[in-house]
Structure 1
Amino acid sequence: ALAKEITREEVENLKKRLHLDKPTPIAYLYWLKEILKLNLGESRLHSKNVSDLIFEKFPVSLTFGLSGFFLAYLICIPLGIYKAMKHSEKFDITTSGIIFFTYSIPVFALAMLLLYIFASGEVFSIFPLAHEVSDNYEELSTLGKLGDRLTHMFLPVTCYISGSFAVLTLLMKNSLLEQISKDYLRTAVSKGLSFPQAVKSHAVRNSLIPIATGFGNNLSLIFAGSLIIELVFNIDGMGLLSFQAVTERDTDLMMGLLLVQSFISLIGNILSDFCYTMIDPRIKFD
């Protein structure tokens, strides 16, 4: 069916409601006032307050995104250190080949491949195909609910990790190799420390600085990457909401989601600065 043609009177009423009939600086102040009150407008698609929609979907994306985010760091940092210690040896060469191969696979293709192998029943049927919990979730025991959530999270979180796995691992490895080649490490070894002790006590801390500086950017990518992953796994979170907002041209919802993502990016950059000062005490906030 054709969309109803909007009348001039309706246009004027809409402008008045959104304060667009006022000068731009005044309209902006009105908009900012509503933002501070957490009034992000109403979603045309869902006929619901944008703030309520975001508060509803945010915990879902946060659970999956932060799980992948922290697991990536917990795996990649030790792996990068070990690869640096075994540089050019069989372990380093083999793992580098695997890392570059997985990095070359697009996230959506990896997600489909994982679903086909581990959830479709064509090869295995170990994990569920979609959603964040099972239909009978409320009937399960506490332990059953935990197990159900973990099985639903495994494949999506694996896709989250794959997005930053290669970059973080190789960044950690190369940063540590750079520190190992410096004079202060040779001095530490000449004073009696074994090479592994010198690396652990001195080089590792300094090599974490590039990792810390990228902390904020990686945090903001949680929701950028969630769009594809949530679409493939049919997870009802911020990524799926963003896709719906763009395809249906829901302006208020798009603006609200953009505002939230900008705020998360800002928080991430502040956390990066704090991590930087923890790693390198010479850096001080003025």
Structure 2
Amino acid sequence: MLLFLLKRLLQMIPIIIGMTFVSFLVIKLAPGDFFTQLEMNPAISKETIEELRKSYGLDQNLLLQYFHWLINALQFNLGYSFAYHKPVTELIGERLINTLQLTVSSFILSWLIAVPLGIIAGVYNGKLLDRIITLFSLFGISLPNFFLAFILMYVASKTGLFPIGGVVSENYEELSLIGKIADRLWHMAIPLTVLIVGSIAGLLRLVRSTIIEELNKDYVKVAIAKGLPYRTVVMKHAFRNAMNPFLTLIGFDIAGLLSGAALIEIITAWPGMGRLMFDAVMSQDLFLVMGSLYIGGIMLVVGNLIADILLALNDPRIREKEVEGKVVR
């Protein structure tokens, strides 16, 4: 297991470097930069703008710029935001909490709802209960997240049942602990509902199809013929053997905790990483864009690492083959 983890950790290094270098190159190839906008201001001289570029190292060779950024990024010094006039780490720290609050809640609730429903649908395959659950999943897949967000925002604006934008109310500090939790959930209601509906739909269908496939295999039929309780066969045998694709999906879900809610955050005015990233790209705030991508890249490789660890723990054959150098996935 230790060799398995060590190999995975070493593979993370070139992935992070390659991803950040390509991102840096694409950003630099875009016409102009943040200071190009300042050239339109007659009150700011060209000499001042050139001095600003020089102070941030933007007058250097592209490779040197990336190398200096990478050295600082490895120390989690992500530079200074041009637009916000604040350190990038401070900005990301403020918004990261809001995004994780939303996406982690969505992640947990989606799995808690989708997995049991998927198992029930798989066990009752073709029956009324399965059809009802399948209809719900088809509704979630057919309805785009952004469209559902617009509908809920419209309803909220007309009825006033839920707040539009913001994380907490103005009197948040005056509330009790339970009141603060309720207030945050109240503000999360719209974006959280949109994310949960979208996540449940795909996950539920995956769980259902995998359970149906496992229940039709010979070892399940043999276990039932031997007199094992059907619930035991489903949960201890079929479900465990069906877990591998779910565990892989967990890794992708963890990797998408920062980026998965970006569009919904923008539509619902949720002050998270999605909105911050959008504003950074529009203003060509180089260090803020790169800092956001860097944190997102770390989440990507960590998510995949967690998925690999869970797969190896669930199926020892995977880590044994990995150590032997064989192709596993």
Fold-level similarity (TM above 0.5) = yes
Show the counterpart of 2:5.
none
The answer to whether structure 1 residue 18 and structure 2 residue 57 are counterparts is: yes
Show the counterpart of 1:120.
157
Greater Cα offset, 227-236 or 65-74: 227-236
Show the counterpart of 2:327.
none
The answer to whether structure 1 residue 146 and structure 2 residue 199 are counterparts is: no
Q: Higher relative CO (CA 8 A, sep ≥ 6), structure 1 or 2?
A: 2
Alpha-carbon displacement from aligned partner over 1:7-34 (angstroms, at most 9, x marks no partner)? 478547735742763583x554322221
Aligned CA distance change for structure 1 residues 245 and 94 (closer, same or farther; 3 Å): same
Contact 1:19/1:30, CA 8 A, preserved across alignment: no
Show the counterpart of 2:135.
97
| Structure 1 SS opposite 2:259 | helix
Show the counterpart of 2:240.
205
Q: 1:132 aligns with which of 161, 167, 173?
A: 167
Contact 2:137/2:202, CA 8 A, preserved across alignment: no
The aligned runs of 1:1-286 (5 Å cut-off) are 3-4=40-41, 7=46, 10-11=49-50, 14-15=53-54, 17-18=56-57, 21=60, 24=63, 26-117=64-155, 119-122=156-159, 125-284=160-319, 286=323
Aligned CA distance change for structure 1 residues 14 and 128 (closer, same or farther; 3 Å): closer
Q: How far did 1:209 drift? A: 0.9
Q: For residues 284 and 55 of structure 2, what CA distance do their matches in structure 1 show?
A: 21
Contact 2:256/2:299, CA 8 A, preserved across alignment: no
Aligned CA distance change for structure 1 residues 60 and 99 (closer, same or farther; 3 Å): same
Q: How far did 1:213 drift? A: 0.9
Structure 1 portions without partners, runs of 5+:
none
- Give the aligned CA root-mean-square deviation in angstroms: 2.3
Give 1:260's aligned amino acid.
I
Give 1:18's aligned amino acid.
G
Q: Percent identity?
A: 35
Contact 2:255/2:304, CA 8 A, preserved across alignment: no
Alpha-carbon displacement from aligned partner over 1:129-148 (angstroms, at most 9, x marks no partner)? 22111111011112211111
Aligned CA distance change for structure 1 residues 137 and 198 (closer, same or farther; 3 Å): same
Contact 2:78/2:291, CA 8 A, preserved across alignment: yes
Give 1:3's aligned amino acid.
M
TM-score by length of 2: 0.79
Aligned CA distance change for structure 1 residues 15 and 2 (closer, same or farther; 3 Å): closer
Alpha-carbon displacement from aligned partner over 1:70-115 (angstroms, at most 9, x marks no partner)? 1111111111100001111111112212221222111121112223
Q: For residues 52 and 280 of structure 2, what CA distance do their matches in structure 1 show?
A: 23
Q: For residues 13 and 58 of structure 1, what CA distance do their matches in structure 2 show?
A: 28
Q: How far did 1:238 drift? A: 0.6
Alpha-carbon displacement from aligned partner over 1:177-235 (angstroms, at most 9, x marks no partner)? 11111111111112111333211220011111101112222222232232222122222
Show the counterpart of 2:33.
none
Q: For residues 36 and 19 of structure 1, what CA distance do their matches in structure 2 show?
A: 19
Matched residue pairs, number? 282
